[in-house]
Copies of this chain bind each other. A is one copy, B any other.
Amino acid sequence: MLLKIEFESDVPIYTQIKNQIIEGIALGLLKEGDEMPSIRQLASDFGINLHTVKKAYDLLKDEGFLSVHRRKGYVVTKNAFADDDFIEKLEKDLQPILANAYSRGMMQDEILKICEDILHKFKNEE
């Protein structure tokens, strides 16, 4: 799995890392038990600060996507669930994005199709 960082994006680097790892899990590129590259490794690969990588990893740990193994370092875990709070946040995040698309004249089916296409890229093999 290959990370790609956009330094000129307005999305913070740690968020980019976090998002791409979650996407990697959704796509099946990262499986439960996989060892993540070390913080040091990842930071030097991209020429970014250790803190930045650590922040991404720690957030993922908090959300249940990673856990820390004494010897292996950060390891992929699927310990994140969609509780009510998450569902609520999900709707709150989606609403403005979908509203924007709709207000620009896109048809509901058209927008839904895009969501569907994205979802269909995710692997359902568990």
Q: Which residues of B contact A114 (CB under 8 A)?
A: 87, 90-91, 94
Number of copies: 4
What class of interface size applies to chain A in its complex with B? 35 or more
* Shortest beta-carbon distance from A117 to chain B in Å: 8
User: Taking beta carbons and an 8 Å cutoff, which residues of A are in contact with B?
Assistant: 7-10, 12-13, 19, 22-23, 25-27, 62, 65, 67-72, 75, 77-78, 80-82, 86-87, 90-91, 93-106, 108, 111-112, 114-116, 118-120, 122, 124, 126
Q: 7 A-B pairs, CB-CB below 8 angstroms? A: A7-B72, A10-B68, A22-B100, A87-B114, A94-B97, A94-B114, A111-B115
Q: In the complex, which residue of chain B has the Cβ closest to the Cβ of A19?
A: B96
Cβ-defined contact, A70 with B8, below 8 A: yes
**Could you tell me the distance between the alpha carbons of A28 and B87 in the complex, rounded to whole angstroms?**
25
Query: What chain B residues lie within 8 Å of A13 (beta carbons)?
Result: 70
Chain B residues whose C-beta falls within 8 Å of the C-beta of A78 in the assembled complex? 103, 105
